Amino acid sequence: MQVHIRPLDVNDERDIESSFRIHAAAQAHDVPDFPPWSRTDHVGRLRHPWPGTSSDTWLALGDPDARGLVTVDLPNLDNTHMAIVELKVHPEYRRRGVGTALYTTATDFVRASGRRVLQGHYVTTLPGGAERRSRGVRRGDGR
């Protein structure tokens, strides 16, 4: 499946809404025992990155709604070898290559930024979770 990806515009309300919808749906699906994702926090994180950190987000477009997103944070004061990646695909659109396309966008950007280590978080214990080892990902403790 062809996946169209473009940078999210933090000043575009439709992009904000699309990204919030994906985050909220993924959280309700993947970690239903967590408190609901706050729109205020979401908008704040997009528009005001952590001090000393640059943040870029890309949306995977769909018709009519976006289907996934990836955010790459680059620490610029310390840990300048690292990139922190957060990838989410709307539960209704998984297993169609959207996650892979977003991951490729993120890793291309990370390499071009000269970063050597990619850090991310994921849930390993819920039923139906993704098999990450097949993507060459290692746990931080080396196991």
Ligand X SMILES: CC(C)(COP(=O)(O)OP(=O)(O)OC[C@H]1O[C@@H](n2cnc3c(N)ncnc32)[C@H](O)[C@@H]1OP(=O)(O)O)[C@@H](O)C(=O)NCCC(=O)NCCS
Between 11 and 134, CB nearer to ligand X: 134
Near ligand X by CB under 6 A: residue from 23, 72, 84, 86: 86
- Footprint on residues 62-81 left by ligand X (CB under 6 A): none
Residue type, 91: P
Give the amino acid at 137. V
Contact region with ligand X (CB under 6 A), list: 7-15, 45-53, 104-112, 125-133: 125-133
Quote the CA–CA distance of 114 and 125 in Å, as a whole number.
33
- For 128: left if phi > 0, alpha if psi spans -120 to 50, otherwise beta; the answer is left
Q: Which of 74, 87, 106, 110 binds ligand X (CB under 6 A)?
A: 87
Q: Tokens at residue 90, please? A: 């709307």
DSSP labels, 66-87:
--EEEEEEEESSS-TTEEEEEE
Strand, coil or helix: 44: helix
The reply on whether position 34 binds ligand X by CB under 6 A is no
Kindly tell me which residue out of 15, 59, 99, 106 binds ligand X, with binding defined by CB under 6 A: 99
Among 53, 54, 100, 113, binds ligand X (CB under 6 A): 100
DSSP structural state of residue 117 = E
| C-alpha radius of gyration, the chain, whole number | 15
**Which stretch in 6-14, 42-50, 51-59, 89-97 sits in contact with ligand X by CB under 6 A?**
89-97
Between 131 and 141, CB nearer to ligand X? 131
Give CA–CA dist 129/143, Å, rounded.
18
Instruction: Return the residue of 8, 16, 26, 72 that touches ligand X, per CB under 6 A.
Output: 26
Any contact of residue 110 with ligand X (CB under 6 A)? no
Interface ranges with ligand X (CB under 6 A) = 26, 30, 86-89, 94-100, 120-123, 128-131, 134
